[in-house]
Chain A
Amino acid sequence: MKKKLLSTILAVAMTMTALVGCGETKAPAASNDSAESTEASTEAAEVTETAEPVEDVEISFYTTETGKDQMFQDIIADFESKNPGIHVEYIAAGDDQLQQWMALYSSNEGPTVSLMDPINIWENQERMLEYTGMSFVDNIEPSALSTMTFDGKVYAVPQTAAGVGLLYNKAVCDAAVGGDFDPSSIKTRSDLEDLFKKIEATGVDATCFTGVNWSLGSHYLCQAYGAAIGTTEERVAYVNSIIAGETKEIDNDVFNGYMDTFDMMAKYNHNAADPLVGDVNIDAAALAAGECGTWFMGDWAWTFLGPIVTEGQEFGLLPIPHSDDPNDVLNQSIATSFAKGYCVDKSQNTEAQQAAGLKFVEYITSDSYAEEQMAKVCGQALPYKNATVEIESPLGLSTANYIANGKTYDFYGTPNLCPSDIWYECGAYMCEYLAGQTTREELAAKIDEYWSHQEAR
């Protein structure tokens, strides 16, 4: 009798613990209405940004920027203090950002506000709230909205302007040229190679590639579909002709130009002994310590460099030249991209949540405290008209300088020029090429093969 009682109690206890787990996860989901009723309500009514949340509202914010959790949490705390009644749940970025976003939507917990790549927002636009005509959009620099506008409708606002290029350690370059290094003196591939030879002569490796798929695939390779091809329309036409099989990459001057520069840089690669052991922290440390003179990365690398540089060290960005033409402005321009944007979900969030989400987006793109935090931690230029905050990062300042001198071009031009998995598929081919395991013809053929499976842009 006693044994039976004991075993019954144990069984009940186990069942209770299982149900408690279920109960906790139900709470946040209950704050999101079911998909059907939310869609019905958004079809029927318009959501205006002036709709005040009447009672306590819980929203969620998902970001795909790693290493900035503290910054976002500080910003959220400030937002909540200025907007009592709105509670923001912060969902941090993990390793696989797209997969996590998909999982959140599958479990009917689509985040209210998401900070995503434009291509992902474009792929998911049917779920997103359109911003066209809302007042906070007026605070965004118009040129920064190109990759966030789909068919004339604005679906997201950009976070920061990222500059992609060759980071340089000024002290190393000064020593190499025997004086004050002037970045605008590098106008062609040959100029760059001269600089590399001079750096090597001082006993330091000239440049560094971080042999990872996203850096080589998303950043380096995609330059070959950028402004060097022409206007946005010309870029789309070019990519579509590869998809249709009418053009081959290997026949394209722009592709070969960038690959010639790539080959040249690979000769002076700090990681040449084992190019694919890719770690941004280790390579950042190498640049900071002066073990290499330059590093192919972007101004977001300040997140890794900032904490380890010593007082007085100077850094900046150099463009990647694709030819030996000193009159080609592109050889002296930095590719900038508005790599991430804030979008608001309307498919799994109530009207009150959407309104609160819009308030959050407005706050994070115009509030002085938020702008201050982003300038400090991201160290990148902010594309907001009312941003007066000083950027401390020398990399961000360098990008801002190029922007001010008109020496930048929009990396993609459209939100969906390159598919969302190009970094994974073509990045692998670029890694193989960097490791010397394939020829340029094979690389070009594999990239053509990849494009042939994509839909026309």
Chain B
Amino acid sequence: MAKNFGKKIKNIGIFAGFGLPATIIWASVVLIPFIYGIWITFTDWNGLAIDINYVGVQNYLEVFTDSTFVTAFFKTVIYAFFTVIASNLVGFLLALAVTSGIKGQSFFRTGFFTPNIIGGIILGYIWNFIFSYALTTFGKSIGVEWMSTSWLTHPTRALIALIIVSSWQMSGYLMVIYIAGLTNVPKELLEAAYVDGASGFQVVRRVKLPLIKNSTAICIFLSISRTFMSFDMNLSLTAGGPYKSTELIAYKIYQTAFTSMEFGKGQAQAIVLFVIVAIISLLQVYFTRKGVDEQ
């Protein structure tokens, strides 16, 4: 009995040695601010005041009656919808390409993953320059009208620009996860399928896709939660412009809290967003994995 107890202490000690630093950091950067934030949502704090007044659930009620919040939310839904589809499609196709045994596929894997390493802020500034100046100069020189003015000064084109750049950045990341899934597909199954006369397309559709359902679930979950919380790209590429037309929900929350100095209200919006995204993501994982279990 004593021996077991001693072993248990030892195990906890080993876990603490490895896990405690990370847990402490995670708690102080994620958990504690989260709890503190929930407390702030019941106040009317403006971010600077010394005294704090409690206002009950007023901030939460205002979230749903604020038309700008609802508009920004639906804009984010549209942005997320197209970005999730585009980045997953591109990521999956790239993964197929770099697992097909072509020459230099390791090099290609690294190359396609690189945009993901460049932070969202820097990427946003680079693409801002491309859309505002590089593409327009090129468009003017070849006389194409829709390329002669900056994409970022028209509401619809600015949103499309956001979708393009986010998909470009995220597809490399998703590609890596799809690669892991695809390389785990048993080779015997693939060979058997080819022997049975299946075309490449049929192999992908009937053999590979069903067997990477786990990877697909993870990829869709990650892309949904990331696109809903997208902030850095929004800030550096469009800054919510032109005239607040590409203000996605995270950016809107940030402006409410800091620029308009309505910290309690902004925090309440953030909590509501968190709950919505958590529900969507968990539902999505549940339904995708249900498919896996059924097999």
Contacts and interface: CB of A to CB of B under 8 A. Distances in A.
B24 interface: yes
Interface stretch (B42-50, B91-99, B217-225, B275-283): B42-50
Interface string A52-79: 0000000000000000000000000000
Given A8-B17, A274-B136, A421 B260 contact: yes
Nearest to B25: A18
Contacts of A99: 254, 258-259
A14 B21 contact: yes
Interface in B26-56: 46-50
Interface string A87-114: 0000000001011011001100000000
Contacts of A421: 255, 259-261
Q: Max chain A CB contacts within 10 Å: which of B24, B240, B242, B255? A: B242
Contacts of B153: 211, 274-277, 435
Interface residues of B, number: 30
Contacts of B243: 213, 276, 428-429, 431-432, 435, 437
A273 B241 CA distance: 17
B132 interface: yes
B259 A105 contact: no
Contact of B48 (A11, A105, A277): A105
A18 B24 contact: yes
Contact of B242 (A12, A123, A276, A425): A276
A181 B200 CA distance: 76
A310 interface: no
Contacts of B255: 421, 424
B17 A12 contact: yes
Given A18-B21, A274-B136, A277-B153, A98 B241 contact: no
A273 B133 CA distance: 13
Given A98-B259, A277-B153, A347 B50 contact: yes
A138 interface: no
A425 B240 CA distance: 11
B214 to A, nearest CB: 30
Nearest to B17: A11
B149 interface: yes
Interface string B253-276: 011001111000000000000000
Contacts of B25: 18
A373 interface: no
A413 B25 CA distance: 48
Give chain A's interface secondary structure class. helix
Contacts of B150: 274, 276-277
Nearest to A101: B48
B18 interface: yes
A98 B46 CA distance: 12
Interface string A392-430: 000000000000000000000000000011001100110
B290 interface: no
A50 interface: no
Contacts of A106: 47
A11 B244 CA distance: 48
A102 B20 contact: no
Contacts of B241: 213, 276, 428, 431
A102 B17 CA distance: 36
Contacts of A211: 153
A124 B241 CA distance: 29
Contacts of A425: 244, 260
Given A274-B150, A431-B243, A420 B48 contact: no
Contacts of B258: 96, 98-99, 102
Contacts of A424: 255, 259-260
A421 B252 CA distance: 13
Contacts of B259: 96, 98-99, 420-421, 424
A390 interface: no
Contacts of B47: 102, 106
B251 to A, nearest CB: 11
A126 interface: yes
B207 to A, nearest CB: 41
Interface of B: 17-18, 20-21, 24-25, 46-50, 132-133, 136, 148-150, 152-153, 240-244, 254-255, 258-261
5 contacts: A213-B241, A276-B242, A347-B50, A428-B243, A432-B242
Given A11-B18, A15-B20, A431-B242, 20 more contacts: A7-B18, A8-B17, A12-B17, A14-B21, A96-B258, A98-B258, A99-B259, A102-B48, A126-B49, A274-B149, A274-B150, A276-B150, A276-B152, A276-B153, A277-B133, A277-B136, A277-B150, A428-B241, A429-B243, A431-B241
